[in-house]
Amino acid sequence: MKIDYSAIPDYIEGYKQRIESGQEVVGEWITKLINWLYENFEKGTFRHDKYKSYRAVAWIENFTPHNKGKWAPQLLQLEPFQKFILSCVYGIVGNDGFRNFTEGAIFMGRKCGKSLVGSGILGYLAYGLDEQGAECYTIAPKLAQSAIIYDLLGYSIDHEAALKERTQSKKEGRYIPETNTWIKKLPFSEKKSDGGNPFCTAADEVGAWEGERGLKQWEVMASGSGARDEYFLFAISSGGYADDGLYDELFARGTQILNGVSEDTTLLPIFYQIDDPEKWDDIIELRKALPCLGVSVSYKFIQNEIRKAHASQSKRMEFLTKYACRKVTAKTAWLTRDVLKTTFGEQKITLEDARGAYGCFGVDLSKTTDLSSVSLIVEMRGKIYFFTRFFMPRNKLEEATERDGIPYAKYVERGFLKLSGENRIDYHDLEAWMDAVRKTYNIRILHTGYDVYSAAYFVDSLEMKGYAPESVRQGFNLTGIIYEAEGMLKDGVLVSAEDNDLMKLHLMDTAIKPEGTDSGRVKIEKVSYKVHIDGTASLLDALTMRYNHVAAEGRLLRNEAIK
């Protein structure tokens, strides 16, 4: 049968037009997502296959009934934002014709039908694509949690004859004999999941997943899917309270992509949340977090919840997290692509150009068995230039290259990375570079900031050589430095003196995490536990020295004598 593609609706373009016309109100991250999608459409990174989107939407609307409330058991009628989400999942394909996204993070406020749509995503992958031997899982820390999406799909199977006749209910789960497909619910168990070959995995309410176990479980499910051409691993959640877990990891990775500083095109970051936490009780602002407001969530209900939140601080925090989908302590990527483009632009100088200048060092020695970093800052002619060097044990080079996917040998050749020691970094190599800066180029070091975990003998040696070392306690104490550095980077005042791509990676992989109170305090963290930000830490250590002493030594630090 010939398909008339001109008659097929474009749900992505349609949603974009609704936003532009004011029919839909969305926040910063959805706006950036749409811009990012169209930028990649234009570049040819991927394209939108309208027919694949249409098929997925049609299947879900024909086989996904409401299971409770006034609409049960009527079939689900998808809203424009839901069609947009499904089109991104199913309709965006790479040049090979396969679905582009292998991971998804769908975060929005409570009562927007996340789990029901999640069951539709899972159902279409299990029934609508005829993947042979598909393994489809719902997963959560406890079996009762993983049963939410599983039971919603089970309701669809039991109430839709076309699905029920294809399915056998077994103790282990639901089985589809004609495609040898299993649908199962699982609690956390890295060992039990290892060795599987998931085609689809739905992770529900990841905002409540605690720390390392959740991250490890996600990795196990992702690594097990490697043999599939079109697997999909997706997380859905409102905001959460668990820190340093999967929610934080996916949100930080997603904002890094949407800020244009990540080359990753396999994670689909869909973040519906309010932009301004101060407007948490504003109905218009709340539409950014609750795209179903006025449909599955009534205005009356939300206004009642707002009144409760005004009467109680704990209720307010719950409302902000769950309905406004604003996790107070969520970390976000620090810098945007445009800021980094300015930072690593054309304004290059050499150490020779800085001969005779005053400057400050910053040293980060947090991992003597992996990476350490030294940054030099020199202010000249209204700009603060930074030079950064990295140090790694010689025997770790191959392992680190394979683990991080970074060609460290290239940076050794370019002089930005020095192999130091065999299995542990030799601090004398850091000192040797610092000594060369001072002696070869006559750069006069006024102060050196170092992290508090530095070895005592290293600090003593710096003291003896006149580097004036001062300890810097990383964390929320550096809030002022972080904000000042961000402002200077955005204004093009703080710039890289060199084309140091390794330092650029460290800045790209830096996230900002709020303290979680009204204090406004923040600290730096890694976007992902897999990356490194030692270069950022050493730069902030150096900037702390400038911040602490500019009032008394500003004329020297600004090198006003250098024209």
Q: What angle do CA 411, 416, 417 make, to 5 degrees?
A: 70
Residue type, 243: D
- Tell me the mean pLDDT per 10 residues along the chain, length 563: 74 97 97 98 96 95 86 88 96 94 95 90 91 91 89 92 93 94 84 69 89 86 82 92 88 95 95 94 96 91 94 88 89 93 88 95 80 96 96 93 92 95 91 96 96 80 94 92 96 95 95 81 91 95 96 91 74
- pLDDT tens digits, 306-326: 999 999 888 888 999 999 999
pTM of the model: 0.87
Question: What pLDDT is recorded for position 366?
Answer: 63
Question: What pLDDT is recorded for position 415?
Answer: 95
Question: What pLDDT is recorded for position 1?
Answer: 47
Mean pLDDT of the chain: 91
Comparing CA positions, the residue from 173, 106, 175 lying closest to residue 146 is 173
Comparing CA positions, the residue from 256, 201, 253 lying closest to residue 225 is 201
- pLDDT tens digits, 101-131: 999 999 999 989 899 889 999 999 999 888 8
CA pair distance 515, 476, nearest whole angstrom: 7
Print the SS3 string covering 499-535: CCHHHHHHHHCEEEEECCCCCCCEEEEECCCCCCCHH
Q: What angle do CA 33, 39, 45 make, to 5 degrees?
A: 105
CA pair distance 380, 359, nearest whole angstrom: 10
The full DSSP string for 413-460 is HHTSEEE-SSSS--HHHHHHHHHHHHHHH--EEEEEEEETTS-HHHHH
Question: What pLDDT is recorded for position 191?
Answer: 54
Question: What pLDDT is recorded for position 208?
Answer: 85
